[in-house]
Amino acid sequence: MMRFCQQCNNLLYPRENRQLKALEYYCKQNDCPYTEINLPSTCVFVNEIIKDSSTRLEVILSDVNKDPTLQRSRDINCTGCGFNEAVFFQAEQTTKSTALNLVFVCCNCGHKWMD
């Protein structure tokens, strides 16, 4: 939305008012001191991306279980074949939740699941 100066009718330009932590519009004319504070309820831009991380398991290669740098657990059983060794790593945080999502890959069959 374009805003115009109420004193000289020129275009107002946006800038940040660091003291008020708000968006401010000002006139660029040298002799015009007009400024206008953006209302706090006015949203300029919101980008919220929420993905279901369970759909991303097909992207993980089954050969990741051969990576010697990943942590291994012998305390968890594979939900596919029952084998008791799996590599695990932290899943990419794609949601706003603070929960830690771990991805497990079976060292026997390559089955992937999340905990």
**CA-CA distance, 49 to 92, in Å (whole number)?**
13
**CA-CA distance, 68 to 105, in Å (whole number)?**
13
In sequence order, the β-bridge partners of residue 14 are 25
The two three-digit tokens of residue 93, written as one number: 């945080």
Instruction: Please check the confidence at residue 55 and state whether its pLDDT lies above 60.
Output: no
**CA-CA distance, 23 to 55, in Å (whole number)?**
38
Question: Does 53-114 carry CATH code 3.40.190.10?
Answer: no
In sequence order, the β-bridge partners of residue 15 are 24
Report the first-to-last Cα separation within the chain, whole angstroms: 46
At residue 103, the pLDDT reads 87
- Greater confidence, 100 or 88? 88
At residue 35, the pLDDT reads 92
Rounded average pLDDT over 38-67: 70
- Same CATH topology for 1-47 and 53-114? yes
* Averaged pLDDT of the chain: 82
CATH architecture assigned to 1-47: Single Sheet (2.20)
pLDDT band, residue 63 (cuts 50/70/90): confident
Tell me the pTM. Answer: 0.49
Domain residue spans of the chain:
1-47, 53-114
